[in-house]
Amino acid sequence: MLTKFLRWLMASPPRLLVLGFAMIILIGAQILALPVSAASGERTPFIDALFTSTSATCVTGLVTLDTGTHYSTFGQGVILVLIQIGGLGFMTMATLFAFFLKRKISLKERLILQEALNQSDMEGIVRLVRRVVLYALTIEASGALLFSVRFLFDMPPGKALYYGVFHAISFFNNAGFDVMGEFRSLTDYVDDPLVNIVTMLLIILGGLGFVVLSDLTDWRNKKRLSLHSKVVLSMTGFLILFGAVVIFAFEYSNPGTMKPLPLGSKILSAFMQSVSPRTAGVNTLDLAGLRQATQFFIVILMFIGASPGSTGGGIKTTTFAALLGAVWAMIRGREDVVMFKYRLAQERVNKALTLTLLAVALVIVATMILSTTEDHHFLMILFEVTSAFGTVGLSMGLTTQLTLTGKVIIILMMFIGRLGPLTLGYALAPKQERALYRQAEGKIIIG
């Protein structure tokens, strides 16, 4: 029986990926539940430890217990390790150790890396892993240095360095965890240009995807970008700018958020709140104080999320771009979806449509269940569910009030959101035999 199970498991890279993440989450939960991980020296309830471990490994940032006050330095260190493993991917970390041990990467491991990094083929996959680690460490170190210098004005050197390193790793991996105190996040730095700009840069660089970062690095030699990079960069720029304009317009006169701030801080906070829903979970404005229109708009941004092969979640910017392209092509009466003078394969459009419908179905089902188990406003529940699925980490205050059923549902949503509905579907689906024939074409009326 065990041999049969192992054969079934090894036959599919998505299954190994799912099992790997699940094992890391369970190990992390066991460690976080230990008395040494809590500041009080008492055991943390396992469901809360499991919730935190899932949130960290799936780089989400939703917490039922405040990271800065409940967990000890050891516990926070465990969370930081889980964030790094979850952000870069456990196979990337395993490959890094293989490099140090000078061990060759097998074909099976290359297939898993291909699935983990969301690549279409294995060509150059090991070289990409080396770049992933190099980019991550370089960007995190730069962010940590800038944060530490800024925090020196507010706290002792040791604490400033610790805060700098923790938040740089957390924000680059789009995790959204912070150790600032009881659920304050970065609201105390709403008008601080350095903290806001560094935070936004870390989030954006982490959300672009390592393939795009590699493409940008090679720009000096190639003098051109791939279609993927062009779509990611253009869609990312559009969503950030459009999001900032919408949030600024909705919140400009809101006395609970932007109204008391000077114009410069208003603009800065609008851009921060536009960048953060791209799966980062960092907020400088009180989310509960936002107007409902703004809250719902943020739900849409969280659902779209970051880009493929990044540290973020959501349906991804390229998926959203493919859907927009398909709609535009249909309106114009064209068969092909064209982007930057390239025709998009129909298989890619079908995949984007499938992924989006699965994601919508998951969010709807989870929201309906939580609407039954949790006695809260519908928009607050939808916000929480979408934040979990998009591995964002923003919350209007529901996370700490979740029932046991609610915590389990959000844990599952974070797990599915990090792996992706399609990866999970491929992992659980039986092996499909190649079809020997096609059915006759039929027609139905649409619209």
Span 203-243, pLDDT tens digits: 998 888 878 888 888 877 777 888 888 999 999 999 999 99
What is the band of 183 on the pLDDT scale with cuts at 50, 70, 90? Answer: very low
Of the listed ranges 367-381, 402-416, 430-444, the one predicted with least confidence: 430-444
Task: Return the bridge partners of 344, or none.
Answer: 337
Percentage above 70 pLDDT, the chain = 81
What is the average pLDDT across 369-376? 92
* Eight-class DSSP state of 435: P
Q: What is the mean pLDDT of residues 325-337?
A: 88
Average pLDDT for 250-269: 89
Q: What is the mean pLDDT of residues 25-49?
A: 93
Q: How far apart are CA 301 and CA 303, in angstroms?
A: 5
Q: Which residue has the higher pLDDT, 437 or 178?
A: 178
How confident is residue 426, by pLDDT bands cut at 50, 70 and 90? low
Residue type at position 222: K
pLDDT value of position 130: 75
pLDDT of 446: 64
Q: Are 215 and 225 in contact (CB under 8 A)?
A: yes
Residue 293 reports pLDDT greater than 70: yes
Residue with the bigger pLDDT between 335 and 447: it is 335
pLDDT at 147: 92
Which residues, 6 or more positions from 290, have their beta carbon under 8 angstroms from its beta carbon?
250, 251, 254, 256, 257, 298
Residue 11 burial class via C-beta count within 10 angstroms: exposed 0-12, middle 13-18, buried 19 and up: exposed
For residue 122, what pLDDT band results from cuts at 50, 70 and 90? low
Residue 48 sits at the vertex; the CA angle it makes with 9 and 36, to the nearest 5 degrees, is 100
Closest CA to 283 of 197, 201, 196: 196
User: Is the model's pLDDT at 442 over the cut of 80?
Assistant: no
Please state, in angstroms and rounded to a whole number, the distance separating the CA atoms of residues 116 and 134.
17
Distance CA 276, CA 266 (A): 15
List CB contacts of 3: < 8 A, sequence separation 6 or more: none
Which has more confidence, 310 or 265? 265
Q: Which range has highest mean pLDDT (100-109, 210-219, 236-245, 307-316)?
A: 236-245
Does pLDDT of 366 surpass 90?
yes
User: Which spans in 305-345 are helix H?
Assistant: 317-331
* Amino acid found at 279: T
Segment 4-18 shows an average pLDDT of: 60
**Mean pLDDT confidence for 111-136:** 65
pLDDT tens digits, residue range 138-156? 999 999 999 999 988 888 8
> Across all residues in the chain, what is the average pLDDT?
83
- Extract the tokens encoding 220: 């000096």
Looking at residues 176-199, what average pLDDT do you find?
Answer: 76
DSSP assignment, residue 343?
A: E
SS3 content of the chain, % helix, strand, coil (to 5): 65, 0, 30
- pLDDT higher than threshold 60 for residue 256: yes
Of 71-85, 103-117, 199-213, 328-342, which one has max mean pLDDT? 71-85
Q: Is the pLDDT of residue 8 over 70?
A: no
Residue with tokens 């889980």: 82
DSSP state of 311: S
Place of tokens 């990094």: 117
- What's the confidence (pLDDT) of residue 35? 94
How does residue 281 score in pLDDT terms, banded at 50, 70 and 90? Answer: confident
Stretch (H or E) spanning 338: strand 337-339
Q: Which of the two residues, 293 and 110, has the higher pLDDT score?
A: 293
Residue 82 CB partners (closer than 8 Å, separation 6+): 24, 28, 53, 56, 57
Where is average pLDDT lowest: 224-233, 277-286, 373-382? 277-286
| Distance in angstroms (rounded) separating the CA atoms of residues 218 and 214 | 6
Comparing C-alpha atoms, which of 228, 237, 234 is closest to residue 209? 228
Share of the chain above pLDDT 90, in %: 36
* pLDDT band, residue 444 (cuts 50/70/90): low
Q: 149 or 17: which carries more pLDDT confidence? A: 149
